[in-house]
Structure formats: structure tokens, C-alpha cells
Amino acid sequence: MPRAITDLTWPVTTERLSIRPAEQRDAAPTYAFRSLPEVARWLTNHPQDPAAWEDGYAERQTDTLIVEKDGVVIGDLYLSIQDPWSQAEVREQAARTLVEIGYVFDPAYAGQGFATEAVREELRICFEDLGVRRVIAQCFADNDASWRLMERLGMRREQHTKQDSLHRDGQWLDGMMYALLRDEWLSAR
């Protein structure tokens, strides 16, 4: 059975970044970039009240990893271990073999490869440290930077939905879903 995030040793480091589970102290720095209109445009919630964000952060930090550059929070990663659909007789065998990932970065650090570096490490954690068999990620189809990142990391577009998501601006937007299997990850390394 795949391991749990709490079983891992943190922080995990890359060439330029440090990644660790979120803590309450990360509420203010994540609010700073998540509340920006150009970032919040793509998020499920647009945080607009720093006190409310801080009060609710304990709930959000469960599936959140923090990305730091030289001790400064520059982004966060979503990592949710899930059970994929399965028939009842094999449900236990399928348990905790799927991870949904996501990512949000401070635009001040855009264009420097930090998101690619961090999400590549997140995929490595999923497949090599946690031992899951499949990782998925979703975005609005109009979020070119997000789906291009998924493609750059070798993820495969498995779904392009038409007007399936109601955006806060009142428009129905298309969606994308990408995936990668552990075997594909390992063979590409």
C-alpha cells in the first residue's frame, strides 16, 4: 500500500527549492499571492479577507506543501491522496493509489522555472516516495501556463471538457485533465 505524506522526511530539496508540509505560519505569505486577481482568476476560491484566510488555513494545510526559495514562500502545491474508482471486490487493492496535484505560484517568481522544478519534484514524491500508481491534475483550458506545465512534465491530456465549469465571472469555461502513470514516470527517468 502507498505510504502517507507523514511517513516522509521533510523538507525535500531540489537544486534551488525546499518543499515541506504547510504550517499555520504559511497563511500570510500564501494569502499574499493567492489573493492577487491574476492568480485568483484560476483558483476555486478568491481569498479577499486575510483574517478569514488565516482562520481557515488549518483546514487547507492538510493537503498543501509549501515551496520556498531561500526561505521565502514562493508557491504552494496541492497533493491529495485518493481512492480511484474500483469495483467492490478490489476496492482495498485500489485504495490510496491515486493522487491529484495542483500548484499556485507567486507571479513575482514566474518565468524562472521554479514551478517546473517544484512540480517535477512533487511528481517524484508521488511516484517514488509515496508509491502511488497514477497522478492527475486539472485546470481551466484557458489557463495556458498550467496545462503547458503539465505537458512539459510529461503528463498526458486525457480530457478536454466543453463548458463544464462555471467561473465566478459568470461564464461557462472548458476544462482540462492530465494524468501520468508511475510506469511512465519511471521509464522516462
Neighbours of 23 (CB within 10 A): 12
pLDDT band at 2 (very low <50, low <70, confident <90, very high): low
Mean pLDDT of 95-123: 97
Please count the helices (runs of H) and the strands (runs of E) in the chain. Answer: 7, 8
Per DSSP, 166 falls in state: E
> Which element (helix H / strand E) includes 30?
helix 27-34
Contacts with 27 (C-beta within 8 Å, 6 or more apart), sequence order: 53, 54, 57
Burial 35-47 (b: 16+ CB within 10 A, else e): beeebbebeeeeb
Evaluate whether 81 touches 2 at the Cβ level (below 8 Å): yes
The set of cell numbers assigned to 160 is 478536454
Judge whether residue 79 has pLDDT over 70: yes
What's the average model confidence in pLDDT over 16-20? 98
Domain ranges of the chain: 5-188
177/164 Cα distance (integer angstroms): 12
CATH code of the domain made up of 5-188: 3.40.630.30
Which of 49-63, 106-120, 159-173 bottoms out in mean pLDDT, i.e. has the lowest? 49-63
Instruction: Tell me how far CA of residue 87 lies from CA of 83, 121, 135, 137, in angstroms.
Output: 12, 32, 20, 23
Decide if pLDDT at 3 tops 80: no
> Which of helix, strand or coil describes residue 57?
helix
Q: Does 1 have pLDDT greater than 80?
A: no
Q: Rounded CA gap, 110 and 133, in Å?
A: 30
How far is residue 2's CA from residue 92's CA, in Å, rounded to a whole number?
A: 12
Cα 118 to its chain centre, rounded Å, is 10
